[in-house]
């Protein structure tokens, strides 16, 4: 399963593999290093 993320600082969009059991991790934009990374909700 993948999660879509979008950096709200630089606009970079990327995906990561999601594991609901994994401990809470810090989100960091791989491009600009901002933490303003939004998890894009799945469209219903």
Partner 1 sequence: MNSEELRIGVFVCDCGLNIAGSVDTEKVRESAEKLDGVVVSVRNKYTCADPGQEEIKRCIREYSLNRVVVASCTPRMHESTFRNCVAQAGLNPYLFEMASIREHCSWVHLHDREAATDKAKDIVKIAVSRARLLQPQEETKIPITDKALVIGGGVAGIQAALDLADAGHQVYLVEKAASVGGIMAQLDKTFPTMDCSICVLGPKMMDVGRHHQITLMTYSQIEAISGYVGNFTVRVRKKARYVDETVCNSCGRCAEVCPVVVPDEFQQGFSSRKAAYIPFPQAVPSSYLIDMEHCLGNSPITCGKCVDVCEKDCIDLNMQDELVDIDVGVIIVATGMDVYDPTALDEYGYTRFENVIATMEFERLICGGGPTEGKLVRPSDYQVPKRIGFIQCVGSRTEDKGYPYCSNVCCMNTIKDSLLINEHYPDTEVFVFYMDIRAYGKGFEDLYRRSKEEGVHYIRGLPGEVIEDPDTKNLIIRVENTTTCLVEEHELDMVVLSVGLKPSDDLKHLTGIINISQTADGFVMEAHPKLRPVDAPTPGIFFAGSVEAPKDIKDSVTQAGAAVARASILLNSGTVHGDAVKAVIDPEKCPSCGLCARVCPFGAIEVDVKAKTGARVIAAACAGCGACAAECRFEAITIQHFLDDQILAQINAALEEEPEKKIITFLCNWCSYAASDMAGISRMQYPPNNRFIRVMCSGRVDEHFILHAFKLGAPIVLLSGCHIGDCHYSSANHWTMKRADRLWNRMEKLGIRPERLQLEWISAAEGPRFAKIMHDIEDLRQKVTQEEIERTKEVLAVEKLTHLGSIEEPSVAS
Count interface residues toward partner 1 (CB under 8 A).
22
Give Rg (Cα) of the chain: 11
Q: Considering only residues 2, 26, 42, 44, which one is a binding residue for partner 1 as defined by CB under 8 A?
A: 26
Is 3 among the residues that bind partner 1 (CB under 8 A)? yes
CB of 32 to partner 1, least distance (A): 8
CB of 20 to partner 1, least distance (A): 6
Task: List phi, psi (to 5°) of 26.
Answer: -75, 140
Could you tell me the end-to-end alpha-carbon distance of the chain, in angstroms, rounded to an integer?
Answer: 16
């Amino acid at each position: 399963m993948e999660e879509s993320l979008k950096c709200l600082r630089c606009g970079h969009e990327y995906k990561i593999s999601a594991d609901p059991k994994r401990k809470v991790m810090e989100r960091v934009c791989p491009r600009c290093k901002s933490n303003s990374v939004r998890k894009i909700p799945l469209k219903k």
